[in-house]
Structure 1
Amino acid sequence: MLRSLSVRVLIALVVGLALGTAAAAFAGPVVKHAIELFEAVGGLWLNALRMTVVPLIFAVVVTGIAGVADAAATGRLAIKTLAWIVGLLTLGAFYTVIFAQGFYAVWPVAEAGAAALKAGATAAPDVVKQTPSLIDFVTGLAPPNILKAASEDAILPLVVFATFFGFAVTRLPEERRVGLAEFFKSIGDVMVTIVRWVLWAAPVGVFALGLGVGLRAGIAAAGVIAQYIAAIVLANIGMTVFAYLLALIVGRAPLGRWTRAAAPVQVTAFATQSSLACLPAMIERSRDDLGVPDRVTGLVLPLAVALFRITGPVANLGVALFLLRVYDIQPSALQMVGAIFVSVATSLASVSLPGQVSFFASIAPICLTLGLPVDILPILIAVEVIPDIFRTVGNVTGDMAITVILARGERTVPDAEMLAEA
């Protein structure tokens, strides 16, 4: 159990919060000062994570677009699959905005809890960027100096530039295109390696940050962290139900067959937190229980596992929307449009990244697009093991749903037989 990095980080957070709370209540000024000095280790660890965001995001967006272009070249079914993937991810992002409005209207983030969580952050609230005007937003999509934009954490124009760059790469002759794509893939792999090295020290970094949160906020931060977990879990469950309905209504899968096919895959996802590990079961159940032809399962499911996380924008944008409540910021409509675009782009681009790597690489750009500090993210990484279970269940449900939808009219099981069981 302790071999799991997620478990070690979660334990480090709990111990750090507990010791920091005890120090605030009973320790003298010397111990408190020592904790504040040790907290600098947490700040160093956080900066080590942040330094990889810009090159990692640029590299994975470029290589992700090159991969999508290659997939689209395989035929009409692949193009339809990609269209459904992008459409559902975008729909999921809009759903998340609506869900957050309702959730936080019913259960607002308490001021005391928000203050407690912010107390552990090393960035001051004044790092929040000014809301741009329409003119600033439009002109800022094409920055005159992309390096300057990157250095200022202007993620939206960076993603826009990377998107154009990626599509331009696909127009090169094959030999040069493959070479350039491999170059950026190598950069992404190098960044992932650095992030893995940094995450190896995550228990120490999170422990140091947890000490600071406990020292300044005490146990009050625990309630708002529990609220965050509830928000992300419920949003993921809602998207899973939506995927279920898609399969039944749009894919016209009989309820009994669909339930028997999806349940074992969902159980596997719950246990493994890995969509890739569920791929064999998804292929078998889609083919044997749902009558999906081999040509559909052989193309759609691997492509969906490679590119499609239906809960990606839901969970990633949901984290940013939670932090907006913590910092009591009201974003403009333009900022939300930018955040939705970035959430879809990073979800597509970061699907091949490991769990903790993809958490930071997917969510930090959204936060930076909204002008939010990312200093609370390490605390949320520590409890990601719980939402990640529901992320994976939603993802495999979405993968199977899109497969059923695209298999309509191409089934090997006669429609009359399936309708008889509906």
Structure 2
Amino acid sequence: MRLALHWQILIALLLAVVMGTWSGEEGTILGVHWLAVYTFIGTLFLNALKMIVVPLVVSAIITGVSGIGSNGGFGRLGLKTISYYLFTSFIAVIIGLTMVNIIQPGVSDQPPPQLESQEHISEVIEGRSAGDAVDVFLRMIPTNVVEAAAEGQMLGLIFFSLLFGFFMTQIKGAAQETLQNFWQGVFDVMMLMTGLIMKFAPIGVFGLVASSVAKNGFAQFDNLALFFVTVVSALLIHFAVVMPMILRFIGGVKNPWLHYQAMLPALLTAFSTSSSSSTLPVTMNSLEHRAGVSNRVTSFVLPLGATINMDGTALYECVAAIFIAQLFGVPLDLSTQVLIVFIALTTSIGVAGIPSASLVAISIILVAVGLPAEAIGLLMVVDRLLDMMRTTVNVFSDSVGAAVIAKSEGEKHVLVSKIF
């Protein structure tokens, strides 16, 4: 009997930890470093996932939007999706804000870290913060959609695809039918390619995790331990308390645990890759074939969510900024913390779905409140593992949104039983 995909991935994760710890960075086999082998396997898998992301996202959104628009449901489904994303991201940031103020991981009797540009840093770069935040929205409309595709600027691609799919419904006759058939064909092919790549997911996950363990080991977090605990606790509250409550009381799902089971392959892939964009094919597959959500909903909600719905990222940005302020002894009044919440929400929208991309957004927040941007270097000690965790929360929130919206659209087969 063949093991289910999520069990294969879980075994690969455990084996990766063992092998990475055993081999370290210096271990060799036949004169070749084990680390090079792990890196090769992991990179090959990531490249395969990234290869299909752009055509999959574009075709999924265009076919999804055109199908919804032709039935008059675009406005309704779009409003539900955006409302859900704003709601859950705001809750995530508030959870992070509450936890970091209660635990206060940066408060210490020790002197603050010494940085080269610590003095007068806010005077030098204060004017950049507004422009950097506005740039998030400027990227939404690409000047060259082909260049945006080549550079992986997903926000611009999604905006273009939304417009293209919507206006496909405004033309009539053979032209519309030809376009609809073309994009549906592209989407069907991409899903078949996704299925092939996912057969090798356990091997790819092994390479990614083994490489990380071999290079970083299990170094102590020193003074960042409490920060680590704060972020993990906040993410866990959002993941294990808020999300099932949304499924139960808003989505009407009688047993939210079924959704955790259905999404296990996607969650493990998100944890190992730290990339919501790379995990998107797995998320779509899990929702459609394991949770019973229709392609009509997943093809609209998930690609959009993979770029603009970053609950874990927004939470982390907020906690990180306030932690650094505490570390440097900078008092933050209510208005400043509200500013941090707002910037965390807006910058999380434009954060690329790739590992550690949120560090760029954190720099915007630090600059906005007059803190040294170089302090980001302090976070790198623990960022990798936290990145894996917040990406998992991002992906799970997207999937919960799809399930809740599908239920609100009257779909009867969503999480009604263990169908996988």
TM-score norm. by structure 1 comes to: 0.59
Distance (Å, rounded) in 2 between the aligned partners of 1:297 and 1:228: 35
Counterpart of 1:34 in structure 2 is none
Q: After superposition, where does 1:335-350 map in structure 2 within 5 Å?
A: 335-350=336-351
Give the aligned partner of residue 80 of structure 1: 80
**Which consecutive unaligned segments of at least 5 residues does structure 1 have?**
1-6, 13-67, 130-150, 170-177, 190-218
How far, CA to CA, are the matches of 1:269 and 1:163 in structure 2?
24
1:282 corresponds to which residue?
283
Quote the offset at 1:336 in angstroms.
1.8
Partner of 1:110: 108
**Structure 1 equivalent of residue 91 of structure 2:** 91
1: distance between equivalents of 2:137 and 2:236? Answer: 34
CA separation of 1:335/1:250 partners in 2, compared to 1, >3 Å: closer, same or farther? same
Aligned twin of 2:127: 154
Cα deviations across residues 4-24 of structure 1 (Å, max 9, x unaligned)?
A: xxx9xxx99xxxxxxxxxxxx
Give the superposition deviation at 1:186.
9.2
Listed as ranges, the matches of 1:72-221 within 5 Å are 75-76=74-75, 77-104=77-104, 109-112=107-110, 115=111, 118-119=113-114, 121-124=115-118, 127=121, 152-158=125-131, 161-162=134-135, 179=143
Flag the 1:230–1:409 CA change in 2: closer, same or farther, 3 A: closer
Distance 1:72 1:343, change over 3 A: farther
Kept after mapping to 2: 8 A contact 1:273/1:392: yes
The superposition leaves residues 384-418 of structure 1 with CA deviations (integer Å, 9 ceiling, x where unpaired) of 11111211221111111111111124354458x92
1:234 equivalent to 2:229? Answer no
Listed as ranges, the gaps of 5+ residues in structure 2 are: 1-19, 26-60, 154-218
Q: Call closer, same or farther: CA 1:252–1:360 in 2, change over 3 Å.
A: same
- CA distance, structure 2, for counterparts of residue 264 and residue 184 of structure 1: 29
Mapped contact 2:251–2:403 kept (Cα < 8 A): yes
Distance 2:326 2:418 in 1: 50
1:250 Cα deviation from its structure 2 partner: 1.7
Which residue of structure 2 aligns with residue 375 of structure 1?
Answer: 374
Post-superposition CA distance 1:158-214 (Å, at most 9, x none): 2565578679x7xxxxxxxx637788999997xxxxxxxxxxxxxxxxxxxxxxxxx
2:294 aligned with 1:293, yes or no?
A: yes
2:416 to 411, 415, 418: 418
Do 2:270 and 2:276's aligned partners in 1 also have CA atoms closer than 8 Å?
yes
Kept in 2, the 8 Å contact 1:316–1:362? The answer is yes
Cα distance in 2 between the residues matched to 1:329 and 1:408 = 46
Question: SS at 1:418's partner residue?
Answer: coil
The C-alpha deviation readout for 1:68-116, integer Å capped at 9, x for no partner, is 9xx9996222332123212322232222211211122xx663222xx2x
1:16 is aligned to: none
Closer, same or farther in 2 for the Cα pair 1:323/1:87, shift >3 Å? Answer: same
In the alignment, the residues of structure 2 paired with residue 102 and residue 397 of structure 1 have an alpha-carbon distance, to the nearest angstrom, of 26
- 1:362 is aligned to 361
1:418 counterpart letter in structure 2: V
Q: Is the 8 A contact 2:100 2:322 kept in 1?
A: yes
Q: Measure how far apart 1:314 and its partner are.
A: 0.4
CA distance in 1, matches of 2:358, 2:297: 30
Q: Deviations over 1:340-378 (max 9, x none)?
A: 2211111111224x424x233110010111111122212
1:239 maps to a residue whose letter is H
Q: Tell me, what secondary structure is at the counterpart of 2:292?
A: coil
Matched length: 293
Change beyond 3 A, Cα 1:154–1:280 = same
Give the drift of 1:337. Answer: 2.1
Q: Over aligned residue pairs, what C-alpha RMSD do you find?
A: 4.1
Q: 1:290 to 1:252 in 2, by over 3 A?
A: farther
**Do the aligned residues in 1 keep the contact of 2:132 with 2:364 (CA within 8 Å)?**
no
Secondary structure of the residue aligned to 1:179 is: coil
Letter of the 2:358 counterpart? F
